[in-house]
Amino acid sequence: SAQNGVEYILGKEVIGIEKQDDTFVVSTHTDEELHARFLVNASGTSAAFISSLLGIASTIERLPAS
């Protein structure tokens, strides 16, 4: 994916996401704004929270530890 121009951004706490025309504007806890045409929600246990920032209904549930 890196060969296709994908940039992985790790260690940033997302506090907001807005869609502006064809771009996602992601706000972080450090007041940084990240701009992307595509956004992949690979946030693990925070996936439902990220989906809610996008206004997407989520059926993600955290399963109890076995």
Confidence of residue 64 (pLDDT cuts 50, 70, 90): confident
pLDDT (0 to 100) of residue 11: 87
**Consecutive H or E run containing 52:** helix 47-53
Please tell me which residue, 29 or 55, carries the higher pLDDT value.
29
- What whole-number distance in Å separates Cα of residue 11 and Cα of residue 18? 20
pTM attached to this predicted model: 0.75
Which residues are bridge partners to 28 per DSSP? 14
Q: Taking a C-beta distance cutoff of 8 angstroms, is the pair 27, 35 a contact?
A: no
- Kindly report, residue by residue over 16-31, the tens digit of the pLDDT: 999 999 999 999 999 9
Which of 22, 5, 17, 21 is CA-nearest to residue 41?
17
Q: Give the model's pLDDT for residue 60.
A: 64
**pLDDT attached to residue 62:** 66
